[in-house]
Each structure stands twice: as structure tokens, then as C-alpha cells.
Amino acid sequence: MSHGFELALAVDDLNRVLGLRAVPGRTAVVMTMGALHEGHATLIRTARAHVGREGFVVVTVFVNPLQFGAGEDLDRYPRTLDADLKTAEDAGADAVFAPSADEVYPGGKPQVTIAAGPMGERLEGASRPGHFDGMLTVVAKLLNLTRPDAAFFGQKDAQQLALIRRMAGDLNFPVEIVGVPTVREPDGLALSSRNRYLSAEERRTALALSGALFAARDRLTAQQALRARAQSQPASQSRAAALSKLGEARAAADAHAVAQAGPGGADAVRAAARAVLDEAARARPPLVLDYLALIDPADFTDVPDDHTGDAVLAVAARVGTTRLIDNIPLTFGAPA
């Protein structure tokens, strides 16, 4: 890149950086609350690849007070700007915009904010009232300030991503919203700035979140494989009988489970995840489940048992004093 790395601590600095740069390419933004980790670095690298060497990548670092509710960890949230600058630069960012709360919200809390609507009242919104209103308000402000062609967000925050896409469409923001797959640590735990709060024992319990999602994914894969093999049997045989005749060690049990689950099998997928979470609830320290939901990504409502097409299995829980979220995309095949 021909342009140097910049730190913008105020709106005037950002305008100078955006106004003076001689870059003919597209601009991308990666919005963060700091405490950058490999997940954020992946977002930045993806943004860089998207806009190319001639493009411009801005990373915002702002701990947004509007999206923290009473008793949440605003004051506790890690601030590591020096380390964040290095991570951002190493990952390919051109500038970091790190304003203060007074700079983003001159005069205090804004009187005009963005309401997340019905989708924002479900799951995370039910657990954290007002959270998504605050999130969308700051995202709208940062989109206006950075004026990007594309904005990149992690799929780990699936409901957040869905709401940002909805806002951009409903309010005609001239920006492409790009979702980037969740980055996980080697043991499967989704990368999060809050992982640093976990003790060794709490981390072992926290692995149940990703474990539950993977168990559900495996259950769906097995159901769909069994159903496909059942369909290959003579039409005169019932599905359960056909599966039972496959001669595999678990065929009969799986046949019964598939028959009980119905054509889509969403209930069995939920049950596979819940079994892992129930076991973690008996661990020491225990996992305290907030929600487990298999939802339609279009509106975040629960899917029926015979659902076909895309879905998201989302989970939120506390381990000790740390609240963690995770999700996995799933695709349900056509019913047999």
C-alpha cells in the first residue's frame, strides 16, 4: 500500500485521513469495541482482500455505552488501544478511528436513536433490553462518519449481523454488509474479548457452548444421511424398517429417532444440543443457560420441526460472571 497507517482519535482527524488520502479504490470499515484478537484480525484481512491494495480499510475502536445495560461490564470491558493499533496495522488496516464517548455522543446520550424493531426484542434483545437499539445507533453513526463502500461483521454475533443488514436495507444505507465466518480457538471456543475473563475451570465448562452446536450439526448430518439411505430402499418398505435393515450398529435407534423427529428433524437437532448443555449445567463450575434457539435467520423466530432451508442454532450462557454467545449455521434438506 502506498498510504501510511494512521490513528484518528477524533472526527476531525478521521475527516482529514479520509479527505486527504489519494486512494482510487473502495473503502471498507471494520467496527470493533477494541481488545482485538484473531477474530478481529480475520475481519480486517477479509476487508483488505475485498477492497484490494488500492482500497482503504478503517478499523473503529469504540466501547459503546449505549449497548451496555444496567449491571453489564462497561467499566470492566478491556481497553487495549496500543495493542489494538499493532493488531490492526499487522492485519492490513490503513487507519484506526478511536474516538471518545464525548466525540461520538456530544452532549450525552442522543435524543434520536434507531429502534431495532421486533427482531431486536428476541433472544439477545430479550436478555439485554435496549442493547440492539444502542448497537444500531452507533453503527449508523460510524457508517456515516467513515462513509465505507463495505462494512464487515463477524457471524458469531449473528443477530447483530442480521439487524445491521435489516437496518441498511430498510434505511437505504449505500453500503454492502459482509458477514465473516466465526473464528474459533483450537479447542472450538469461539474467539471473544470476554474469553480472557474465564478461569481454567470456567473455560472447560464454557466449551459446552461450541460442543452443543457441533453435536447438533452432527445430529443433523446423521439424520439427513440416514434419510437419504432410507429413500434408496424399495418404496414398499417403511422408512424406519428400511433404516433398520441397513445392518449398522446404530441403525435401528437412529431410525426410531428420525421417525420421531418428523420430516425436518429440527426437534432432534435441538435435543442433541440441549443434552450437551444439560451435562454442562451439572459441571463445576456450572454452565447457566440463558437460551438455546434454532431460528430462521430472516427474522430470528423459532423454526418448526419440519423446517427446510437455512437456520441458525444460537446459544447464550453464563459461566461464572462471564456471559458468552455462540451460533452455527445449519441447512435442513427437503423432507423425505
- Looking at residue 251, its pLDDT comes to 52
CA 113, 102, 321, 209 torsion: positive or negative? Answer: positive
Closest CA to 280 of 186, 192, 203: 203
Whether the CB-CB separation of 124 and 131 falls below 8 Å is answered with yes
Helices 266-281 + 200-231 axis angle, to 10: 160
Cell, residue 240 = 424406519
Catalytic residue among 40, 50, 131, 307: 40
Three-state secondary structure string covering 220-246: HHHHHHHHHHHHCCCCCCCHHHHHHCC
**328 - beta bridge partners?**
313
| pLDDT in the model for residue 253 | 57
Edge-to-edge strands, sheet with 27-32: 6-8, 95-97, 56-61, 27-32, 150-154, 176-180
Which H helix or E strand runs over 252? helix 251-261
- For residue 165, the one-letter residue type is R
Q: How far is Cα 287 from Cα 123, in angstroms, rounded to an integer?
A: 18
Phi, psi of 202 (to 5 degrees): -65, -35
Backbone torsions φ then ψ of 248, nearest 5 degrees: -90, 155
Q: Of 128, 28, 23, which is closest to residue 71 (Cα–Cα)?
A: 128
Residues of the chain under the 70 pLDDT cut:
1-3, 20-24, 230-264, 334-336
Residues 6+ apart with CB under 8 A from 305: 261, 262, 263, 264, 265, 266, 267
Whether 40 is catalytic:
yes
> Do residues 225 and 246 make contact, with C-beta atoms less than 8 angstroms apart?
no
Reduced to 3 states, what is the DSSP secondary structure of residue 152? strand
Q: What pLDDT score was predicted for residue 233?
A: 60
The pTM score is: 0.86
C-alpha cell at 38: 484473531
